[in-house]
Amino acid sequence: MTARDFGYSHDTPPALAGHTVIDTELRPVGKVTDVLYDERERAPRWAIVQTGLLRSEHYVPLADSYLDEDDRLVVPHDRMSIKHAPRARRDHVVTREVARELRDYYGVAA
């Protein structure tokens, strides 16, 4: 993911909350409810995605994601793997335990 993928600059962070999320097969996944940033680089790293009617929210890495021509967030993970990903806590804080779960599940550092 680059800053250009979301029209991001350090002065204007991307407004991804509310965007529909789809996987690379164009299947609907859910909606972005929050975005978590890397504090050092001030760049978006994780989306919190609400995946269903029960309001379950899951962490989804934003690396290699992009907004398509219909303003949907396309993520390089399939719908079922996102639904089985670690659930986001109510406060959306990435603790050491959560970071370890995300690293183990997605293979990327949180």
Nearest to 63 by CA among 13, 110, 104, 28: 110
Q: In terms of residue numbers, what domain contains 24? A: 3-106
Q: Which segments of the chain have a pLDDT < 50?
A: 1-4, 9-13
* Most distant CA atoms of the chain, gap in Å: 37
pLDDT at 7: 53
CATH number at residue 20: 3.90.50.10
Residues β-bridged to residue 73: 21, 67
Distance (Å, whole) CA 52 – CA 109: 26
What's the per-residue H, E or C state across 32-90?
EEEEEEECCCCEEEEEEEECCCCCCEEEEECCCCEECCCCCEEECCCHHHHHCCCECCC
pTM (2 decimals)? 0.84
Distance (Å, whole) CA 83 – CA 57: 9
Number of structural domains (the chain) is: 1
Q: What is the pLDDT of residues 67-86, one digit of tens each?
A: 999 999 999 999 999 999 99
